[in-house]
A and B are shown apart, each in its own frame.
Chain A
């Protein structure tokens, strides 16, 4: 089969379900449920850190997670400190937080703060363990961190209930190595599909309190907070693409075995 024909099939498998909305039932996996329950159990006025460690190439998978997490936090009066270890993540994170804050009526500096980006991932993580304001002297808009109302009682990880790393690379492992092991900070992650398998050893040891896995995890989380959005839409579309790929692999193997039998 010509590869261009395969490309057309993939395009159709994406476009057709998008035109005719399909709603398949999504069951919630244990790691996603654990993270949801952990945030639900946090007392109001707790503070979490949400790290946007990804760039535009991964926003399709990770933005729906970020939106669901922010919705849940703002609904439960959990305050959010957002930051990024990726220079590409600043504008993306800032826009997304503002969108959800407006939707939920959250106030900048009281319910959330976006600290922006600082270079040197390991040094930033270790530095925040001593004093967050020494690493992020100002927030993204240039306000002094020490003068931001919600940061007044926060010095370091000791006042943080949970860190959620939304990652498209190896940043979660860096957070675990330096923030969890060194400072005992509780960590959860939302990761792209390609790195899910790397996270399971940390789930088993309890170094990750929960995990949102790819676009399926995003859809599961949307189901948990009862706000179906792009995660739900995209996982249904992805269902058809996966079916197509499985069909192609099976077809390819049938052709392969037929050819081998003829040669023998």
Chain B
């Protein structure tokens, strides 16, 4: 029974929602709007679920004294501080905004900025023209990189002005994005979309049941 009820609900709502897309009748559209508003109510529960999982994970880490378990206390300090300030006083509270601007923003920006150093180091150590495919990737990457910055056009127009390309590095980059990149992306999108459709049909028909979790 625990598995049959969700399977029936999934089948009924799946089929009904598909039909609402093909019927402009007022009953069909009212039903569609109603289900959308139900979904809006359900979505905040995902936040509750995520927070609960995060807390459970870090409680377990502390209990089991796994590697670097001490850092899990910092997670709780962060959560408790922001909840204690944010829930009663709202996100426009000065202290809440101060923590956001002076703690979260610099930390997030720092994490992202570190990528520049790692990319430079990785490019130097690993980006090698070992095979024909690797060489093609390397040349394409270099053209796109140079086309992404104004100095690329300057160099292209000075050193490579003899090439029959009018718009310099930025033009070459645009051509790569508009042609080989676009074709490959479209193929990926079509493949993923077909996969999503087939998976959705499997879920609606109850063939795919992993979302129900294990056990009976």
Contacts and interface: CB of A to CB of B under 8 A. Distances in A.
Does chain A bind chain B? Answer: yes
Interface string B45-74: 011000000000000000000000000000
A179 to B, nearest CB: 13
B40 A123 contact: yes
Given A24-B151, A88-B104, A130-B36, A57 B138 contact: no
Interface string B152-194: 1110000000000001001000100110011001100100000
B151 A243 contact: yes
Contact of A245 (B119, B153, B177, B178): B119
Given A140-B92, A239-B151, A201 B116 contact: no
A43 interface: no
A182 to B, nearest CB: 9
A26 B121 CA distance: 28
Given A91-B101, A252-B127, A256-B128, A59 B109 contact: yes
B112 interface: yes
B148 A10 contact: no
Chain B interface size range: 35 or more
Contact of A91 (B97, B138, B182): B97
Interface string A224-259: 000000000001101111111110110111001000
Interface in B96-153: 96-97, 100-101, 104-105, 107-109, 111-113, 116-117, 119-121, 123-125, 127-130, 138, 142, 145-146, 148-153
A249 B127 contact: yes
B144 to A, nearest CB: 9
A112 to B, nearest CB: 16
Interface residues of A, number: 68
Contacts of B152: 239, 242
B150 A141 contact: no
A204 B181 CA distance: 12
B81 interface: no
Interface string A12-39: 0010000000001111011000000000
Nearest to B92: A141
B125 A252 contact: yes
A9 B116 CA distance: 11
Given A57-B108, A200-B177, A123 B182 contact: no
A193 interface: yes
A1 interface: yes
19 contacts: A6-B121, A7-B117, A9-B120, A24-B154, A29-B170, A59-B109, A90-B91, A116-B91, A119-B43, A123-B40, A127-B36, A197-B177, A204-B178, A214-B148, A216-B149, A216-B150, A235-B149, A243-B151, A256-B130
